[in-house]
Structure formats: C-alpha cells, structure tokens
Structure 1
Amino acid sequence: MSRVFSKRAKEVNAKLVILNSSDLDAVDFDAFWNPDLPAYQKENFLCAYMLLNEIGYRFDPKQLKQAVHDFFWPARFQVLRQDPYLVLDGAHNPDGIEALVSSLLESKTKIDQIYFSVLADKQAHIMIRRLQDLCSDLHLVSFESDRLADLEKLSQEYNYPIVDLDTLFQELACTNKSTLVCG
C-alpha cells in the first residue's frame, strides 16, 4: 500500500509522511486523552495531529485536551447510556469490527449482549467470529434493505435470534445488560 501512496505523492509532487507504531508511542496521550474514547481513535487523532504539525500548527496539552474533549463522531463508539452501558458503533466491515472489539477488550468494558446487522456484500462470518470474542449473546437485526445479508442463513448457522428494529428498540428500553449495537 505504501508504494501506491509513494507513487501518487511523486506524481502530484506532494510530501508523504508515513506514520508507524513508534509515532503513536512517542505521543504522551495520558496528558490529554479522554479514556471514554476508543483506542482506535488514537490513530485517527495522531494522523490529524501530525498533518497539522507538518503544515506548521503547534498545540499545547491544554488545547489537545480540549480538542479531544470536544470530539464527537456520531455512531462511532457513541455511548448512549452509562447504566446499563449502551454503545452504538457503525463498524460495518472486518477492519471496523476488529478496531471496535480490540478497543472494547483493551478498555476492559464488559459487553453482555450484541445487536448486529450486516449487508450481503460484507464478510459477515469474519465479523461475527470476532464479535464472539466479546460475548456469546448476539442478536441479528433485520431492517428493510435489498442489500441486507441473508440473516436467516446466518441465524441457522450460528444459532442467533433475528430481531427487527421495533423489537431492538423495545429490548434496549428495558434491558439491564451492557449492550453493543453495531453493523
């Protein structure tokens, strides 16, 4: 992938900066990071931070803390309720699910149940298997779409119930379980 970026940067006479894990390790996130944000957002934050540094912007820890505090990306690790815990994440592909599950495991957040939906053109099996690392109580969520995966087949394969959106909302209103809604 970096060859593609290098080639394109040369074509348009642009500077290319490639970040690696040591760049992430070099930043003292403890000074300003909001622990309620998922770990994967650190990488996204670092990209934006490094870009701004490259073009001459400098920030003190107080400004960084304020930026992180004000950060909001709807449906990306959006905590809708604390007690019982309810988080919504729009992860809809294997990379997104991987980042989500890794962040939840790293934060030691206990998830008791998952509501998950998936489109037919996505890799449902990979995502379901990774979500199983969080908990075994998984519900497949159906909604009106020609692009929806074959939930009946997935339900039979994994022995997970299928719920529609109305049922999902009813169950979320009265559950006392820590819940993840994603897909």
Structure 2
Amino acid sequence: MLTYQEALDYIYSFVDYERSSLEGPRRFDLSRITALLKLLGQPHRRYKAVHIAGTKGKGSTAAMIESILRAAGYKTGLFTSPHLHTYRERIQTGGQLITEKRLVAHVERLMPLAERFSGLTTFEITTALAFSHFAQEKVEWAILETGLGGRLDTTNVVDPAVVVITLIGYDHVDVLGHRLSQIAFEKAGIIKEGRPVVSMPQRPTALRVIKRVCRERRAPLTLAGRDWTWKRKGFDLKGQKLDVHCHKKPNGGSSSLCRDYANLSIPFLGAHQLVNTTTVVATMAELARQGVSLSPQNVVAGLETTFWPGRVEVLNEEPLLVVDGAHNLESTEALAQALKEYFDFQRLILIFGALHGHDFEAMLRQLLPLADQVFVTQSLHPRAIDANILAQQVNALGHRCQMEPQVDKALWKALRQAEKADLVCAAGSLSIAAEARAAWLESQGISFERDPPPA
C-alpha cells in the first residue's frame, strides 16, 4: 500500500502545468480524460453538476454554492484548484477534505489504468480522482471549478444543470490568447446546448462573446448586474451584509428563490464578493426553477457559513494582518479596492511575491501606490519568481523595497516594524498567502491541515 506522500509524488510525477512553465509543446484536448473516465465507469455521470469558469471569483463562488446546497440537505462534492495548504482541499465531500487513506486508495485504483496513456497531466489525474471519489461517496451535486480556460479544460466532460461564468480578464494569455475575446471564447466553451448560464457582469468584449455562444447553443442567460442587483449594507472585519434584488422571473416557470433578500451576511470582504454572492443567489434561483428543493433559509444559512480562507482574510487586528491570493490584474485590482474601502489603517506594509506566467508588473502597479513599505519575497512554489527580479521591478516603478526570500521571515520582519494602527498585507500569489497564513497560524498554536513541505 502506498503512503500518502508516495501517492502525492505519483500525482505530481505527471505533466503539471501548475508547478511548471506553460511554455513549450503542450496538448490540450479531452480525449485522454474521456477515455480514462470510461475505464473508471463514467463516474461523472452519476451526479448533477454546477460548472464554473472565469478568471476571478471561481473558488469563492463554488464554495458558496456548495455551502448552500449542503445547507439544503444535499450531499455535495466540491472540486477546486489550486490549494492553500494541502492537496486534499481540492477534493471535498460534505464540506470535508478527502482523507489521506481514501486518496491513496483512489490513486492505487487509478495507477494501472493510467499506464495505458501517454502524456497524462496532473490535472487530468486529479480530475479523475475527484470524479471517482464523488461517485463512490454518492454525492448528489458536484460543484466543479475549471482549472485553465474552459473549452478544453479537463472538467469539460460534464453535462451541468447550470453553467456559471465569473469575471473574465487577462490571465494565462500564452495559452488562452492575448485578446479578451479569445479568452472569453475559451471560458464560454463550457456552455452546453440548452443549459442555463448565469454570468457575472463582464467587460463589453467578453459579454458579446458570452451572449453569442448562448444564442448559438440556445442557452438562456441570466446576467448579474442586469437581472439581479446588489447593495452593500455594512461590514466589519469579519464580513459584510448586502441586499440582493431580483429584477425578473426565470424563464420557464416561477422560482421561490427569485425574490429580494435583505441583509444577507457573508464572511468575506471586498466589493467583488458582493458580485460573487449575487451571482450565487441567481444560480440558486435557477436551480430552484429546475425543481431543486431549496429555500431562502438555505441560501441565508449557506452564505453565512461558507468557509474559503486566503481571500482578503483578516488574521489579526492590531496590527491588521491580511492575506490574499490575488495573482493577476483583476484580483489585484479587487484587493487594492478592498484595502482602500474596507480597512482603516495608518501605514500599509506590503509583502509581495509572484509566480512566473503572471503579470507581476501590472499587479505591482496596482499595489505599490498604496504601500508605505514593501517586502519582496519568494514562495516555495516551483514557479516562484526570484525576489531579486521583483526587487528590480519595484525599483523600476520608482519605489524602494526590502528583500527577504523566505515568506515567513518577511512576515515577521513586517510585523516587527508595524505599529498597532498599521496593516500588513501578504499577496501576489496563492502560495504567498498560504505560506504567510501557515506561519501565522503556527505562531498562534492553531492547527490546520497541511501537506509535508516539498523535498
């Protein structure tokens, strides 16, 4: 029997576009995952699914949808990527991470089947593991987040009850295309014939693509910002409240969830989370229209109890310590807006690190004007950018910085220099947020699930 570490080593032994460069020869299509799932008995056909694509907001949106369905009494599966502290976060059922023992068992079952293929990727292996686990656990609903793009993403083998498109922006342009219309076309590739679509507000170029694909595939479109609107009512460091208003009845019948909601509570900060929440509420109304048993009380309870750490997460109050997984222009814009609108502080001390393949100059342009002091650092992620390169970019943009290659040491230096009224923010990639978060939780004696550090 494999150990858990041996199972992880096996999973990571395949082509892994998360941990290595996307440059060079690559083949994205659905033939391998389709054949592999057939050998596994088509596990993805044994439950209903919500399929989510986009550049920003996929994870939070998926987590909220899962929490609401679970609050309604459904057995749920949640598939997301990447993870903060343990690979097992990617595959959850009923709000619980897959256990090490179950992951090992699934890997051992998969190994002889995987030998029949050449060129399998880590994400294809992970998708097969998740789909198999969900089937074995007899989940009723799987909430699935795409990994890269949508049209050729490994998850795009499901026939979902509803498709959700979150904010589309510029990321992975070397794979998805350098024009927003190209990226939107790839994301909209998860839209299926006749299946309802719920979209967040989009830039005009992206929205035109989504509308065109919906027309071509006769997929009814619900648009947040047009059909559903929101208004922030208040916030504190633990979360915020909002009103959500429905402006139309879903086509094809009435829905008990197509209604106004007052003072919904969410444990997230940032204006972008108001948009995410409204999109989630619209999605639940669509599911209710299809006959899924859901009540307004389920929506309220599910939103209140959603757990999705590392997203404008407040870990300490004096001084303020915030970690955020912002890793592209759109998410960094949202973080910068949140820091200005939701926090009262004297100085901002920024801890910044990024990964190759992301536009770190654009991210720095968003965050540096807010920062009084900057530490550049480098996570343990294989694609982490050298802190020296980041320091050069910070200097080129007219700012000074201190360089500390180890994230935990950068955190302690920043906190030692911070006054009670200051704010320390660690951002630039999910791995930076994860390592800063882990260091803080360890220092406070707070236990959390985590994998062994990389060798």
**Shorter-chain TM band:** 0.7 to 0.9
Q: Residue 40 in 1 paired to residue 267 in 2?
A: no
The equivalent of 1:167 in structure 2 is: 409
Let me know the Cα RMSD of the aligned residues: 2.7
**2:323–2:425 CA contact under 8 A, matched in 1:** yes
Corresponding position of 2:296: 59
Alignment partners' CA distance in 1, 2:324 and 2:228: 26
Write the letter of the residue equivalent to 1:82.
E
Structure 1 residue 140: Cα displacement: 0.8
SS at match of 1:71: coil
Query: 1:86 maps to which residue?
Result: 321
Give the Cα separation in 2 of the matches to 1:42 and 1:33: 10
| Residue 148 (structure 1) aligns with | 384
Q: Does the CA-based 8 Å contact 1:120-1:150 persist in structure 2? A: no
**5+ residue gaps, structure 2:** 1-205, 232-241, 245-261, 289-293, 429-455
- How many residues align? The count is 181
Tell me which residue corresponds to 1:103: 338
* CA contact 2:350–2:426 (8 Å) conserved in 1: yes
Q: TM-score, normalised by structure 2?
A: 0.36
1:21–1:11 distance in 2 versus 1, CA, 3 Å: closer
Native 8 Å contact 2:378 2:385 kept in 1: no
**Letter in structure 1 aligned against 2:356:** A
State the distance in 2 between where 1:165 and 1:108 align.
23
Q: Deviations over 1:144-173 (max 9, x none)?
A: 445233432331342312112241243366
What is the distance in 1 between the residues matched to 2:403 and 2:332? 20
Output the CA distance in 1 between the equivalents of 2:412 and 2:338: 27
**Cα deviation per residue 1:24-44 (whole Å; 9 max; x = unaligned)?**
346726622358622211111
Q: How far apart in 1 are the matches of 2:411 and 2:336? A: 23
**Alpha-carbon distance in structure 2 between the residues aligned to 1:109 and 1:94:** 24
Paired with 2:266 and 2:221, the residues of 1 have a C-alpha distance of 29
Secondary structure, aligned partner of 2:376:
strand
CA offsets per residue over residues 67-92 of structure 1, 9 Å max, x none? 34312212111111122211110000
Partner residue in 2 for 1:15: 220
After superposition, the Cα gap between the structure-2 partners of 1:33 and 1:154, relative to the gap in structure 1 and judged at 3 Å, is same
Correspondence for 2:281 = 49
Q: Partner residue of 1:124? A: 360
Q: Which SS does the other structure have where 1:17 is aligned?
A: strand
Which structure has more RCO (C-alpha within 8 Å, separation ≥ 6)?
1
Residues 113-157 of structure 1, C-alpha deviations (whole Å, 9 max, x = no match): 010111222111221121123223111111344523343233134
> 1 CA distance for matches of 2:282 and 2:227?
13
User: What SS is found at the alignment partner of 1:33?
Assistant: strand
Task: Tell me how far apart the structure 1 counterparts of residues 344 and 229 of structure 2 sit (CA, whole Å).
Answer: 23
Amino acid at match of 1:41: Q
What is the CA-CA distance between 1:7 and the residue it aligns to? 3.3
For residue 309 of structure 2, what is the aligned residue in structure 1? 74
Task: Give the Cα–Cα distance (whole angstroms) in 2 for the partners of residues 55 and 182 of structure 1.
Answer: 35
Q: Which amino acid aligns with 2:296?
A: F
Identity over the aligned pairs, expressed in percent?
A: 24
Opposite residue 178 of structure 1, the aligned amino acid is L
Return the letter of the residue paired with 1:148: A
Deviation at 1:65, TM superposition (A): 4.7
How far apart, in 1, do the equivalents of 2:382 and 2:280 lie?
A: 36
Greater fraction of residues in helix: 1
